[in-house]
A and B are shown apart, each in its own frame.
Chain A
Amino acid sequence: MSDRPEKPVSRRKFLRGAGVAAMSAAVGASIPFARYMPAGFIPVVLAQSAEPPSIPGKYGLKVLNDRPINAETPAHLLDDPVTPANRLFVRNNGVPPYTDDLDPLDWTLEIEGESCLRPIKMTLAEIQQQFKHYTLQLQIECGGNGRSEFYPAAKGNQWTRGAVGCPEWTGVRMRDVLDFCGVADDAVYVAYEADDTHLSGDLSKQPISRGVPVAKAMEKESMIVWAMNGEPLLPLHGYPLRMLCAGWPASVSGKWLRRLLIRDRVHDGAKMTGQSYRVPCKPVEPGAIVADEDMCIIESMPVKSLITFPKSGIDHALDKQLQVRGHAWAGDQQVSRLLTSIDFGATWQKAKLRKPANRLAWQHWSANVRFPEDGYYEIWARAEDDNGATQPVVLPGWNPRGYLNNACHRIAVRVTA
């Protein structure tokens, strides 16, 4: 995989200083919102290249979009118990800030809001000095992971299965920071504001500003982190500072964290309202048009699992046992068992399931499979959480934005005599 910066850079050089008129001529139409374009910005029409884009620092990811950058990891590349940084999916709503030249220790975080008793501004150095450090393995998953399977097609990035991962994060507990600043009795939500910018270039608009109810923010696994797997966060993952509230849609875990707002109401920032990261409060038929007021905010993600070994599509000899393995996770819950099937769900066998490294980490499972005769098989995996909820074999309830698809993962195996 080769890095891609050369070409865009040369185009950028070519266009640097070019007026809007010249740019409009190159695009072949006027650009009505040119006033919002940041200097050096290249319209995608010109910036795009025929070669499939790759992302520096990432290996084997499938890029769904390069503006904003969104990329997922094929299931078989998520086999590691702790997801390496180069295999963690990337989900951006806006343009990441330029962070190459900053001194991370000088990065400032403000804590304020209607229900913050002692608003404060701290540098990362002060945060690291003031609060106890913790390292936890925490799973993070895009709320729209699996969207591509919904019919009618749901709006948004067409994720298959790979917008999930479970690295190890180092930082401080959010509750230690919140307690330090004082949470008033009327506090309802803890929200973030960040340094990424809106795709349209309009600096007055935030691409995304979400958060969690106070109770979730105060859990001992909710963190403000600066490191992933012992290294500084990658720029695309929020360097130098981000939130991490595992088990909920990853969009609650703000990147490039600048402000924490202790709100006296449900946060109303970008992508908190309307239909974003919401599902119908009551089940609806596929294709239904649902009014905004009938859409409810997604909280905990549902029980889910992946088969990370073997890769789908292998040939396997009939006389050999096949080791199958993967991970399972369940939002705020723990996974209590994992079942596999090789006969399209007619019968299910219990797999070996390990405990999580800590609460809200994914759990590893493995099974040894023997096939009765040669032919085409699918291996299906199905997890069950400690509330008794399991993964559906077909698609779960349709919703307008295609969130929360936790249908069981399937891989194909051809067994040869």
Chain B
Amino acid sequence: MKRALPLIITMLSLMPMATLADDIDSPTGLKVAPGWLHVRTHCGTCHSHALVTSQRADRQTWLDMIRWMQATQNLWQFTPEVETEILDYLEVNYAPQPNRRRAPIPPSLMPKRVNSTM
């Protein structure tokens, strides 16, 4: 319990921050931003929204994924307007992260911070 307490406090202090930073729709995990309702409906009918929210890609790569699903996975055709709104949303909200060949060990697997005086 002694060990778990600082972790719980850290988690409690971080949780409201996370929801403030981005407006997240809690059932789906999608960022609430222009176009998100199209993504909720058209992407979520077949698969989990986590498949969207865990992915990062540029506009062309998102379009390639849509075309692949349309060609092979029974995804339907969108009207040009809907397709544009979906791509705008994905391009802005799920863009590639900064370039790197190997990232540091993720924060969740690091020792807990002991002092924050520095």
Contact = CB atoms under 8 A, between A and B. Distances in A.
Contacts of B68: 274
Interface residues of B, number: 41
B116 interface: no
B74 interface: yes
Contacts of A407: 102
A378 B74 contact: no
B59 interface: no
Interface residues on A, range: 35 or more
B47 to A, nearest CB: 5
A402 to B, nearest CB: 11
B48 A67 contact: yes
Most chain B C-beta atoms within 10 Å of own C-beta, residue among A152, A153, A410: A153
B89 to A, nearest CB: 15
Given A151-B101, A155-B57, A198-B74, A313 B48 contact: no
A134 interface: no
B97 A153 contact: yes
B50 A65 contact: yes
Given A29-B41, A412-B111, A158 B54 contact: yes
Contacts of A67: 46-48
Given A45-B44, A65-B48, A313-B110, A149 B54 contact: no
A198 B69 CA distance: 12
Contacts of B58: 152
A27 B102 contact: no
A202 B46 CA distance: 11
Interface stretch (A31-39, A174-182, A186-194): A31-39
A44 B39 CA distance: 12
Interface in B44-98: 44-51, 54-58, 61, 65, 68, 72-76, 96-97
Most chain A C-beta atoms within 10 Å of own C-beta, residue among B45, B49, B51, B99: B45
Interface of A: 27-29, 31-33, 36, 43-45, 48-50, 64-68, 149, 151-153, 155, 157-158, 198-202, 205, 274, 312-315, 376, 378, 393-395, 407, 410-414
